[in-house]
Structure 1
Amino acid sequence: MGKTIVKAPGYSNTPELTSEMYIIKVKGKAKIPDYIQLRDENFVLIAYFRADRPLKNLDKYGLEGKEVALRKLITELPFGKLQKLEI
């Protein structure tokens, strides 16, 4: 028999390109590093990565070719301030 997979509303294993995205930088504590969250227009988490690591797979989020601008934004972004991603 096959399994039925039920997904929670607003959740997807494969992120969809969205017209609006939001970014927030979260401060780590002790051995936990700082990290970045990308969220869609419904504030659903679509990407989560360390702030100090090279950016990978940005094409999945429609951000290919914007690595330099995104890295600059991440560097200048204050901790804890959710803002619309405009690059």
Structure 2
Amino acid sequence: MYVIKVKGVAKIPDYVQLRDEKFTLLAYFRVDRPDRSLEKVGLGDKTEYIMQKIKDLPFGQILKLDI
């Protein structure tokens, strides 16, 4: 699974994209509101781990997560 952190501009907030091995979009959510989106894709129990990785990730970079 891959994580991409996207910087928002003006009134658009920062977003996170979760993508699978084929780079298909699994989830797209605001950095400050991950709960429902992660639960929908079955990662509700990994929210804390994913958000810690996102917090340290610079905008525009791709990070591979082994989940």
TM superposition score normalised by structure 1: 0.66
Q: How many residues align?
A: 67
CA distance in 1, matches of 2:64, 2:7: 19
Consecutive aligned runs of 4 or more in structure 1 exceeding 3 Å deviation? none
2:41 to 28, 38, 61: 61
Identity %: 60
Counterpart of 2:50 in structure 1 is 70
Tell me: CA distance 1:73–1:59, structure 2 relative to 1, closer, same or farther (3 Å): same
Which structure's relative contact order is higher, taking Cα pairs within 8 Å and 6+ residues apart?
2
Question: Aligned-pair RMSD on alpha carbons?
Answer: 1.7
Gaps of 5+ in 1: 1-20
One-letter identity of the residue aligned with 1:26:
V
The unaligned stretches of length 5 or more in structure 2 are none
Answer 1 or 2: which has greater helix percent.
2
